[in-house]
Amino acid sequence: MKKFVLFSLLLFFPASFCLAQNYYENTRNQWLQKAEQYKPELIITEKRPLKVVNIIPDDHSFQKWKVLNVNPIDSLYNTPFREKKEVIIDFGEHMTGNFSFSVRSTGLAADGPLKFKLTFGEVPAEVSVPFDPYPGTLSRGWLQDEIVSVMYVPETVNISRRLSFRYVKIELLGSSPYYDFNIYDIKCLARTSAKNKPESLPLSVDPMIRKIDEVSLNTLKECMQTVYEDGPKRDQRLWIGDLYLEALGNNYSFKQHDLTKRCLYLLAGLSDMNGYLLATIIENPVPRAQDKQFLYEYALLYNVSLKDYLEATNDKETAEDLWPVAKRQLDIVRTYVKSDGLMDFEKLNEEWWVFFDWKEDLYKEVATQGIAVFALRESYKLAQLLGKEKEVADIPALAHKMTKAARKNLYDKKAGVFVGLGDKQISYASQIWMILSGIATKAEGKKALTALNTMPGVCYPGTPYMYHYYIQSLINCGMNNEAKDALIKYWGGMINKGADTFWEAYDPNNDFISPYDFYPLNSYCHAWSCTPVYFIRKYPEIFQK
């Protein structure tokens, strides 16, 4: 899965994009000001570790590391550390914030500095597996290991970078033979902008569903900072695809719509000069979009997020403000659709990042057509809500033409599945996007999704991101029991492996998958896997019965 790196380096920038104009010249600054105005306050909570643990190799545990409870945390505070040299502590829950600890001599004068290495982990493997030589394809700097020197004792050490973790390993690298010391007062000032308290599910609900709901809420809460982050460990930034799903979850839980509003304004204000959205915003030290990062589906999903936001809030002012952005994204489809109604997948795939999932072998032609139609339809609904249909009067006919073209060219009626022209691969992604777009009828969708279970060589989802759309497709096809079972199996599978927040990548059969060639680099609290909270609360008749 090296594509991410490749894409980041090549940075999408086809010659046709080079327009001299600044598309939203007059409004960009106002949008950015509004984004600033709706920046949420962070709620800080002091958290303390619960236990000293031991993490040992174990073939039957997640990523082959097992956590054993050893002692209550006080045992560490009372023991001289010089001989001990190393300890792993467990805060008992995932947190995002600033870490500190104190040291004091056990009696004798401290005549020399101490040096420590601290390693922070969301999962046990991160504090157990050596990081070097580093094989990963993203910056080594994301990994949460820090070396600190304490020049004078007593001292309180504050780690300046914000961290995301549950476990901390403290190793002593240097000390004086002439005195011993204690480590004590370990804490984390945890932060989130999630301040509302969603109602708990009734006790009558299946315990696994309740647990999945709780872990989803935790995941979303941790990702809700001053933007919707993708993952609070990595890469701590706003991506449109993640925002789309986080906002869905938020609408059914925390209901902090101003955060969605801020993110929508930020993306608009920092869009490219040509008016197309850039897929991701790096918030600090000042908000910047990642240059030339044009991601096809994410640009289109912005429109859907704006429509959802309007429906959730009735905030017409914002939707009207940002309507020009949504309108402009429709040009992506207009530019790449061919006269026969099919998207020019080859060309698009050369000029944009066509993502859909972290799945190297996924062939994306069918999904590309599907999401285009989905976005056209959702954008038209947005236009209707705003009374702006006339401005996009071509869209219904275009969606219709593209639907017909897909049904004619991409449906294998005999096999009952959708496949591409350029490759006959049968994938979840293809069936899913034909269903969500309404290109497949309900009956066809049901047949296709059922066929996935028995056909050989199917390309299955690599992440909870794609799995979200799978659950939605099952629901759209009326396969409610299957949707419930799939949700329990997939997200419950993570819980059975110890998840207290849901992960960026999850393959039930492979604990070591990583889009970045190094599984400790994966984000183990990731925005796009929070959506069970949306399903469980939006469809109580399916998930809460």
Tracing tokens 């560490």 back to the chain, one arrives at: 76
Strand ranges for 247-360 from DSSP E = 280-282, 288-289
- Closer to ligand RAM by CB, 76 or 527: give it: 527
Question: Using CB under 6 A, which residues numbered 318 to 357 contact ligand RAM?
Answer: 355
- Closer to ligand RAM by CB, 1 or 148: give it: 1
Nearest distance in Å: CB 355, ligand RAM: 5
Q: Kindly determine how many residues on this chain lie close enough to bind ligand RAM according to the rule CB under 6 A.
A: 10
Nearest distance in Å: CB 245, ligand RAM: 9
Strand ranges for 18-61 from DSSP E = 43-47, 51-57
| Nearest in space to 166 (alpha carbons), one of 190, 182, 139, 198 | 190
Strand ranges for 20-162 from DSSP E = 43-47, 51-57, 65-72, 86-105, 114-121, 145-150, 155-158
Question: Using CB under 6 A, which residues numbered 346 to 405 contact ligand RAM?
Answer: 355
Question: Contacting ligand RAM (CB under 6 A), which of 222, 229, 230, 378?
Answer: 230
- Closer to ligand RAM by CB, 239 or 345: give it: 239
Question: Using CB under 6 A, which residues numbered 150 to 209 contact ligand RAM?
Answer: none
Question: Contacting ligand RAM (CB under 6 A), which of 294, 528, 535, 543?
Answer: 528
Sketch the per residue contact string, 486 through 525, with ligand RAM: x for CB under 6 A, - otherwise.
------------------x------------------x--
Nearest distance in Å: CB 213, ligand RAM: 22
- Point out which span in 184-192, 228-236, 391-399, 427-435 binds ligand RAM (CB under 6 A): 228-236
Give, in order, the Cα–Cα distances in Å from 11 to each of 6, 14, 222, 351.
8, 9, 30, 9
Give, in order, the Cα–Cα distances in Å from 241 to each of 222, 386, 516, 542.
17, 23, 19, 25
Strand ranges for 280-350 from DSSP E = 280-282, 288-289
Q: What is the dihedral of CA 418, 423, 429, 430, to 10 degrees?
A: -20
- Closer to ligand RAM by CB, 231 or 232: give it: 231
- Closer to ligand RAM by CB, 101 or 519: give it: 519
| Nearest in space to 163 (alpha carbons), one of 98, 236, 230, 91 | 98
- Closer to ligand RAM by CB, 168 or 533: give it: 533
Nearest distance in Å: CB 109, ligand RAM: 49
Nearest distance in Å: CB 220, ligand RAM: 14
Strand ranges for 193-279 from DSSP E = 238-239
- Closer to ligand RAM by CB, 323 or 470: give it: 470
- Closer to ligand RAM by CB, 355 or 380: give it: 355
Nearest distance in Å: CB 504, ligand RAM: 6
Question: Contacting ligand RAM (CB under 6 A), which of 49, 231, 232, 464?
Answer: 231
Distance CA 496, CA 489 (A): 10
Residue count of the chain? 545
- Closer to ligand RAM by CB, 136 or 231: give it: 231
Q: E strand or H helix at 350, and its extent?
A: helix 345-351
- Point out which span in 196-204, 227-235, 371-379, 440-448 binds ligand RAM (CB under 6 A): 227-235
Q: E strand or H helix at 449, and its extent?
A: helix 442-452
Six token digits for residue 320: 């009207």
| Nearest in space to 463 (alpha carbons), one of 417, 520, 425, 510 | 510
Residues pairing with 165 in the sheet: 95
- Measured on CA atoms in the order 136, 140, 144, 150, is the torsion positive or negative? positive
Nearest distance in Å: CB 394, ligand RAM: 30
Question: Using CB under 6 A, which residues numbered 234 to 273 contact ligand RAM?
Answer: 235, 239, 241-242
Q: Are 402 and 342 in contact (CB under 8 A)?
A: yes
Nearest distance in Å: CB 485, ligand RAM: 26
- Closer to ligand RAM by CB, 53 or 138: give it: 138
Listed in sequence order, the residues at least 6 apart from 95 whose beta carbon sits closer than 8 Å to its beta carbon are 47, 164, 165, 166, 188, 190, 222
Nearest distance in Å: CB 353, ligand RAM: 8
Nearest distance in Å: CB 279, ligand RAM: 7
- Point out which span in 97-105, 229-237, 315-323, 409-417 binds ligand RAM (CB under 6 A): 229-237
Sites of contact with ligand RAM (CB under 6 A): 230-231, 235, 239, 241-242, 355, 504, 523, 528
